[in-house]
Amino acid sequence: MVTVTFAQRKSAVLSPSRLACLRNVATINLTRGCAHACRYCYARGYSSYPGDGCVVLYTNTLEKLRTELARKRKRPQAVYFSPSCDLFQPVPQVLDLGYQVLAYLLGEGMNIALLTKGVIPPEHFALLCRHASRVRVQIGITTLDAATAACFEPHAALPEVRMAQIRRLIAAGIETHARVDPMLPGITDDPVTLDTLFAELARCGVIESAISSLFLRPTILQVLKRELRGTRYYDQLNTRLTACQRLAIHADQSTVSALSQGVRRELYQRVHLIAAAHGIAVHVCACKNPDIARGSCHIAGRWEREQEKRDHPVLFNEMGIGRWQG
Ligand code: SF4
């Protein structure tokens, strides 16, 4: 049960991000709080977090967006949904506003990138399909196990639904990648579980995935331990997180708790090999792993390439790299 309250947004709708991967894009949050209620969600630690089971919907988003976009001399390369919530939360008012905002931006010729763990409703799906070349999607998936997903991502789409969405998005010609993030220590990061997951992703047509292990703001770590006590996940997670290190990450101004650098390095190497065996290239999220990774996990797509293709179509064709594949 989610309580929705309504608010007028005072700050700008299109926000820049501190994350390197979002450098050239503008970001939008339609809500404060997120109905998916993932237990590990970093947004639960924000001072503006409205509390579990509550979302605040900014009802003047579209109106403000029209004004902002009209005033912009240089438009962002793309608009990214959403740094601190999900576009497809199971809340009718959020979905309605999301559709209107998407339709407006796509109608204005903007590029859209989105990351979701939600169910994409048919009308939203059809809209995205009509503008397939200007849409990039990452589907967040942490496990194929419905019970584990129900514990850690109680109101997000079932794993099988996310997989089906990946298949349909790719079939519709929308560049769609997976985001296996977070890998839960001792729960979803063992070789057999990972192999099963990447095999299924490959069957769905995935050729790229962003990955990261779990990182937790200190307050969320305490809450998570409390919430999981008595479940079959507690011992595994507690044991592995006891040896965690504090890490300053690009995604946040505070430090977070993460597995040690050595453990993460080993894990990412293992995932790289497992994914490669299924024909999937992985990118470690460098914003969360600044001590290990470089480059981008392409959370908001690769729009530079699209621009280059438009500017130098012949060169692209001769080089045979016109396909968006990294
Ligand atoms: S879907 Fe994303 S923003 Fe929403 S609760 Fe889960 S991790 Fe947080």
Q: Where are the domains of the chain?
A: 11-319
Average pLDDT of the residues in 141-156: 97
Percent of the chain scoring above 70 in pLDDT: 91
Q: What is the pLDDT of residue 22?
A: 83
Q: What is the mean pLDDT of the chain?
A: 89
**Each residue of 28-83: pLDDT tens digit?**
999 999 999 999 998 998 889 999 999 999 999 999 999 999 999 999 999 999 99
Q: What is the pLDDT of residue 75?
A: 93
Cβ of 35 less than 6 Å from ligand 1: no
Residue nearest to atom 6 of ligand 1 (CA): 38
Residue given tokens 């099988």 in the structure block: 160
Cβ of 37 less than 6 Å from ligand 1: yes
Atom of ligand 1 nearest to the CA of 40: 7
Candidate ranges 36-50, 160-174, 213-227, 312-326; pick with highest mean pLDDT: 160-174
Q: What is the pLDDT of residue 305?
A: 55
Say how many Å lie between the CA of residue 37 and the centre of ligand 1. Answer: 6
pLDDT of 315 > 60? The answer is no
Q: What is the pLDDT of residue 323?
A: 28
Average pLDDT of the residues in 233-256: 76
pLDDT of 283 > 50? The answer is yes
- Kindly report the three-state secondary structure assignment for every residue of the chain: CCEEEEECCCCCCCECCCCHHHCCEEEECCEECCCCCCCCCHHHHCCCCCCCCEEEEECCHHHHHHHHHHHCCCCCCEEEECCCCCCCCCCHHHHHHHHHHHHHHHHCCCCEEEEECCCCCHHHHHHHHHCHHHEEEEEECCCCCHHHHHHHCCCCCCHHHHHHHHHHHHHCCCEEEEEEEEECCCCCCCHHHHHHHHHHHHHCCCCEEEEEECEECHHHHHHHHHHHCCCCCHHHHHHHHHCCEEEECCCCCCEEEECCHHHHHHHHHHHHHHHHHCCCEEEECCCCCCCCCCCCCCCCCCHHHHHHHHHCHHHHHHHCCCCCCC
Q: What is the pLDDT of residue 292?
A: 86
pLDDT of 319 > 50? The answer is no
Cβ of 41 less than 6 Å from ligand 1: yes
Average pLDDT of the residues in 130-157: 97
Our mutation pick for probing the ligand 1 site, out of 30, 36, 57, counting the most ligand atoms within 8 A of Cβ, is 36
Distance CA 326, CA 321 (A): 9
Distance CA 245, CA 63 (A): 44
Q: What is the pLDDT of residue 20?
A: 76
Residue nearest to atom 8 of ligand 1 (CA): 41
55-69, 112-126, 237-251, 256-270: range with lowest mean pLDDT: 237-251
Fold adopted by 11-319: pyruvate-formate lyase- activating enzyme (3.80.30)
Q: What is the pLDDT of residue 280?
A: 98
Cβ of 149 less than 6 Å from ligand 1: no
User: What are 211's strand-pairing partners?
Assistant: 180, 284
14-23, 25-34, 228-237: range with lowest mean pLDDT: 14-23
**pTM assigned to the model:** 0.90
pLDDT of 316 > 70? The answer is no
